[in-house]
Chains A and B, each alone.
Chain A
Amino acid sequence: MKKGNLMFVLLLVFVLTTGVFAESVELSFYYPVGVSGPLARVIDQMTAEFTELHPDIKIQPVYCGNYNDTMQKVQTAVMSQDPPDIAVVEVSELYSLLAMDALLPLDDYINSENEDFINQYWEAFFGNAVANDQIWGFPFQRSTPVFYWNKELFQKHADELYAVGLSPERAPKTWDEVVQYADILTEKNGDDTEVYGLILPGGWNDWIFEAFVRQNESFLIDQENSIANFDSQEALQALLLWYKLTNEMHVSPPLRPWNMTITDFVAGDAAMMYYSTGGMPTVRKTANFDFEVAFLPMHYTYGTPVGGGDFHIFKGISKEKQDAAWEFIKFMTNPKNAAKWSMESGYVCVNKEGYDLPEMQEFMDDFPQMWTAANQLQYSYPKMMAVNYQQIRKIMTTNLDDVMLGNKSPEKALETMQREIQKILDMYNR
């Protein structure tokens, strides 16, 4: 009787273990959609293609909302010891993930590929993936802010623009020109503003503001993640410009939400906007006027922080899963898929070889605005990163919002940001 039981147990163990080995690996993949558009469908399609090629790996894509929501879900999952296998989060969150000891370094995987492998990718994007001399992320949906302008509205004001020596055929190149163009392009009817010259969008104004500070050859948080530099003259100069545009000249609306900004631009309610490259497909599909995309206007220099999201593989999952996750990342960023993702989403194609594909070239010929973002990469910087970036971002957006609403002076806002953000950085470094 006892022996029978033992045999039975052994048999059961045998069946179960073979079952496990024969079964495919299943990976959960948390991802955000940071721009408008039916991108969730594209992700589903791409993961299905991956499983066709690798029948033993099943990807379960989990759409988590916007970047903030996604980070929140990842954070909660990691802290409750049940991490996702793969996740895409906003690049500034890297240090928070490291503080939670959540990530697997990718150096071994990258080194195990042949030498040409890593050279396929734009180097600029790895600035946000490296910390403590190791690579923790892999670029996927990367974007920079670019400068959108409405050609029709520029033509409408051609005479006024020519009168002051500007041209309706090009975008403003410098901060001073932004002020001039915005002034001319704003259309007022009594107290009502019918067309704003420019929109400095809210919601991600932390990112846009960083671009302005970069154009002043300065920074907001250093790469070592220890010094906040908000009380600099360079930052003040940038914020004074914002204050002037929104509160003194009234040529940019005070506080337009991120997703409304693109709607306003497409509706012709604003002539120019600072916005992510990720907005391009939407503008192209919905605007019934010609639009152009330019580099962000320079001050002392051109400058743009590259944002967006990177892939991460998590600690605390089995080696098979990690290996499978790496296969998935390679698949999603191979020339064909990187190009496909870029065409669908407007993000920069992270794989340089993607641009050589005939379908991509055809697409780019048809949509030359997409080159701007890629060309602007030569002036790009890694977006600032810090532990608890969620809180830093909140401090930045609330203070910048207050300035744009006219509730706080630029000096006071920068002083508050400096004090509160330095406090958070100190907590990490003590």
Chain B
Amino acid sequence: MKTKGRLHTGYKPYIFLLPSVVFLAIFTYYPIYYSVRYSFTSFNLFSPKPVFNGFENYISLFNNEVFWEVVINNIIYAVFTIFPTMILALLLAILVNETKKFKSVIELGLFYPMLIPMAAAAMIWVFMLDPGIGVINKFLGLIGLPEPGWLGDDKAAIWALIIMAIWKNVGYFMLIYLAGLQNIPNHLYEAAEIEGAGWWRKHFTITFPLVSPSTIFVFIVSIIQSFKVFTQIHLMTKGGPGYSTTVLVYYIYENAFNYWDIGTAAALTTILIISLLFLVIMVFGVFGKKVHYSLS
């Protein structure tokens, strides 16, 4: 198949790419360059002009127990939002796909949390999670389960945020999985059924491998999402109690704007960028090979 036409050669594609490259350069790459540069300087209340200090910011971060607490918080948050969300989303997508009636109503219902602005959702959850007047603890009390202090409790707060994130994202990922499911030809399921495969068997051997392009997309998007979580933390807990819900981006914000320690904030930003890049490359490298893009 020779598709090399005139359209695909020459300078034209570059011209069309130029506007987006310019915008990316101004609003993304230039700031990244600056934060990497500032990360090697002492730039804070004590030295209002940036002064080169080598790796000092990084070293003091690595020696700082708060930094590690923040990293661990972020990993807990990521692991426990990403996997439950993915599993739930796929399960819901399969179930929705199998419904005959009210399909679009159910789809809309599950997708709805995604449409609520994060700031509004955060405030709703603050009320729902309130230990005194909140509906969640009222319900837990009714069925005799323990009632945690949620946002005021240093051990429960991060779980409250995780539960909220799952609720918020599951509909969106479900929709992506639903689209993936449409690409699986029906005759495979028919063949499996003739061979006597049950529901689980069918989905394990046919659905799961064949939605893997969606899975890898969902995985990468949710990794990125869980490392840039900020809005609800700022609105619901301000990183507290203690540092129990401080995640990387919130810690960057706190260093930059509360303490005006731009050097440390820049070092944190650089660490975040590099580790995210590394994670995404790894996901592509490891799982990318196992993805089944087509049946052949």
Task: Give residues in A with beta carbon < 8 Å to B.
Answer: 68, 72, 75-76, 79, 96, 99-101, 255, 257, 387-388, 390-391, 394, 398, 401-402, 405, 407, 427-428
Contact = CB atoms under 8 A, between A and B. Distances in A.
Contacts of B48: 79, 99-101
10 contacts: A68-B258, A75-B260, A76-B257, A79-B260, A96-B260, A100-B48, A101-B48, A388-B260, A401-B154, A428-B46
Given A99-B46, A402-B242, 13 more contacts: A72-B258, A75-B260, A76-B257, A79-B48, A79-B260, A96-B260, A99-B45, A390-B258, A391-B258, A398-B242, A405-B241, A405-B242, A407-B154
B55 interface: no
A100 B45 contact: yes
A387 B240 CA distance: 23
Interface in B232-258: 240-243, 254, 257-258
Interface in B258-273: 258-261
Nearest to A392: B259
B113 interface: no
B152 A390 contact: no
A428 B48 CA distance: 12
Contacts of B241: 255, 401, 405
What class of interface size applies to chain B in its complex with A? 10 to 19
Nearest to B45: A99
B152 A257 contact: yes
The 5 closest A-B pairs by CB, nearest first: A398-B242, A391-B259, A99-B45, A390-B258, A427-B46
A68 B48 CA distance: 20
A387 B258 contact: no
B242 A401 contact: yes
Counting chain A CB atoms within 10 Å of each CB, the highest count among B154, B243, B259 belongs to: B259
A75 B46 CA distance: 13
A75 B256 CA distance: 10
B140 to A, nearest CB: 16
Contacts of A390: 258-259
Nearest to A407: B154
A388 B243 contact: no
A402 B240 CA distance: 11
Nearest to A402: B242
Interface in B125-172: 152, 154
B45 A388 contact: yes
Contacts of A79: 48, 260
Contacts of B240: 398, 401
Contacts of B259: 388, 390-391
Contacts of A402: 242
A96 B260 CA distance: 10
B260 A387 contact: no
Contacts of A388: 44-46, 259-261
A401 B243 CA distance: 10
A248 to B, nearest CB: 20
B152 to A, nearest CB: 7
Nearest to B238: A68
A117 B127 CA distance: 50
A72 B45 contact: no
Contacts of B46: 99, 387-388, 427-428
A391 B243 CA distance: 13
A189 to B, nearest CB: 15
B282 to A, nearest CB: 34
A430 B259 CA distance: 19
B152 A96 contact: no
A428 B154 CA distance: 32
Contacts of A96: 45, 260
B150 to A, nearest CB: 13
Contacts of A68: 258
Contacts of A255: 152, 241
A388 B264 CA distance: 14
B243 A398 contact: yes
A90 to B, nearest CB: 13
Counting chain A CB atoms within 10 Å of each CB, the highest count among B44, B258, B261 belongs to: B258
B148 to A, nearest CB: 13
A110 to B, nearest CB: 27
Contacts of B242: 398, 401-402, 405, 407
B81 to A, nearest CB: 24
B73 to A, nearest CB: 13
A255 B154 CA distance: 10
Interface string B26-60: 00000000000000000011101000000000000
Counting chain B CB atoms within 10 Å of each CB, the highest count among A79, A99, A398, A428 belongs to: A398
Contact of B154 (A76, A100, A405): A405
A402 to B, nearest CB: 6
A268 to B, nearest CB: 14
Contacts of B258: 68, 72, 390-391, 394
Nearest to A416: B65
A398 B241 CA distance: 7
A401 to B, nearest CB: 5
Nearest to A430: B46
A96 B261 CA distance: 12
A383 to B, nearest CB: 19
A72 B243 CA distance: 19
A403 to B, nearest CB: 11
B154 A72 contact: no
A72 B258 CA distance: 6
A251 to B, nearest CB: 18
A387 B45 contact: yes
A194 to B, nearest CB: 13
Nearest to B258: A390
A392 to B, nearest CB: 10
A1 to B, nearest CB: 41
B235 to A, nearest CB: 13
A75 B259 CA distance: 9
Nearest to A269: B132
A72 B152 CA distance: 24
Contacts of A405: 154, 241-242
A247 to B, nearest CB: 14
Nearest to B154: A405
Contacts of A100: 45, 48, 260
Nearest to A427: B46
A427 B260 CA distance: 14
B293 to A, nearest CB: 48
Contacts of A391: 258-259, 261
